[in-house]
Structure 1
Amino acid sequence: MMSSKWRDEQHPSFINFISSFLSANSFRLNFVLVAPDFIFNCGGMSISFVFITNWDCHNTAVVFSRIKKLKEQFAHFYVVLALPTREQNDSFVRSYFKYGMELGRPTFVPVQDREMGFEKIIKIAHSRGVCKRQDAISKLKAERRRAVQTMDVFLRVVTSIPLIDNHDANALNQAIGSIEAIAKASKTYILENTDLSAEKAEMIVRFFRDPKLYLSPKIN
């Protein structure tokens, strides 16, 4: 989607270039009233852009005010700027720090000319869509499931120690960490860093040092 307001501010030849470029890359162009200059829907993800094709060194406050508002409204938001001259580039850098922009929020993409800028927009939108199609979120969920399974094994092992229950196991995990770290911990260290009783701390130390205990754990 292209903002009809942004379209009306551009030279017709550039709009023709964009239309042809989008068609060649299998995108369908629609002109609508939207706050950003462009919104791409790729792989079920919406990516928004502000595309500044004519940087005005004397009117930067309006630009950054608009960007600050939009970054709060759109999760995936980029600003592409055509800065063909040294003066424009220096003006942008000064303004970036003057208006207190947060690094990476949004991401700014300076380019030499308008055509290069629009090519960057297409590449960003396409790459974000590819990542979405590869289901990065599902991979994160799988990692979380593995973490849960690992914790389940941890609990089963630690609660096999006589007197130790799930609460104690969680306290040991948060305060000390892995089973290996717990095995190396002293009674004093366990007492200082958890709410376990002296009797339980003594049992843990004995469990990992007394063969009669650690050779016959009962894991439920």
Structure 2
Amino acid sequence: MKLKQLTRHVWAGYVYWPLPVMIWIVEDRDGLTLVDGGLPSMWNPMHEAIRTTFRGRSLNRILLTHGHSDHVGMLYALTESLQLPVTAHEIEIPFLTGERSYTTLRQGSKNKDIKPFAPNILQPLDMKGNYGGLVPFHTPGHCLGHVAYYHPEDNILLAGDLFTAFFDKLRRPIEKFTANMEESLQSGAIVKRLQPRLTACAHCGVVKDASIQYINLVKNN
């Protein structure tokens, strides 16, 4: 896993599989917040990064944009080691416990159900809360409980799979993994509301001025 500092408080960790898969580590005065759990192979380098890059600062919380397999992979080992809860939108929690199936959301969907988490590991997101400087916004479409996280101080949006990014250009989420593309594109209007300087996508990178690019993205779809 490679680490890259995106803003004063926000770091990205990413691997290639075969597309880039990105997680985020956010620093605040009290410690660290992890957004998304990526792939299983990311846990050992993540653990090492906490010890070295982040000088042993405590990991205080885990937030999810959503529960697809490439967003929770290392959390099974992490929660066994550090015994931290995983926080997600309440709509997403039944998919994380195995009570609901991602394959039912869209005919022909390529999403695979994940290994269920124990219910006591999961806790619902407070949509009016602030998590280490991050403010959550419900952005459904890619899945029912998808959430994007905005860091007002750094003016960066951690967009999960709300979008993808190719060569610094904003693109739609991947079609075959998205439950409702029209709804997802509507949710993408959050960039017009927030006007983030940077928008970090879980797949393929970070774009600037997403609010401007979003207008063209919708116009061309």
TM-score (normalised: structure 2)? 0.27
Task: Name the structure with the higher helix share.
Answer: 1
TM-score (normalised: structure 1)? 0.27
